Amino acid sequence: MTLQHPAHRGGRTQGRFARLAEKASNFTSSPVFFGLCLALVAAVVGAHLVHVPLKWLLLLGDAMTAVTLLLLALLKNSERRAEHAIQRKLDAIATALLDAQEGRSGQSAQDLRDAIRLEDET
């Protein structure tokens, strides 16, 4: 287990967790997932209206809790990746501006180009 920022793990290539989190994030933002969540909520409401046994109410409640927890983890992962991408862009812009002001040309222009395409990597 590591406590590094997710964007710093594994260099420029995405690890298995990053790829899985990206796919899960794409799925959870789809209409299919929204439909599944809506069906789960409807099932809970329907179960309460029909007065199903407590065992089934607990099972449905646990399912909703698990979905909520997973969505929270995905949201935090997505937030951290976006935060890192924005910070890298700001650093690249600041370096390029400083180099331009001081009349230097160098790696900062290429770093800025790379930062612009950062969304494809994160």
Work out the mean pLDDT of the chain and round it to a whole number: 81
Kindly state whether residue 4 falls inside one of the protein's structural domains: no
When pLDDT is cut at 50, 70 and 90, the band that residue 64 belongs to is very high
How far, in Å, CA of 78 to CA of 20, rounded?
12
Q: What is the pTM of this model?
A: 0.63
In a domain, 66, yes or no: yes
| Residue 11 belongs to some domain of the structure | no
Per the rule left: phi > 0, alpha: psi between -120 and 50, beta: everything else, 28 is alpha
Place 118 in a pLDDT band, splitting at 50, 70 and 90: low
Domain that holds residue 25: 16-120
Q: Is residue 96 included in any domain, yes or no? A: yes
Q: Could you tell me if residue 113 is inside a domain? A: yes
| CA–CA–CA angle 23, 28, 32 (5° rounding) | 110
Residue 24 covered by a domain: yes
* Residue of 88 and 54 predicted with greater confidence: 54
Tokens 């969540």 correspond to 37
Query: How many domains would you assign to the chain?
Result: 1
Mean pLDDT within 92-96: 83
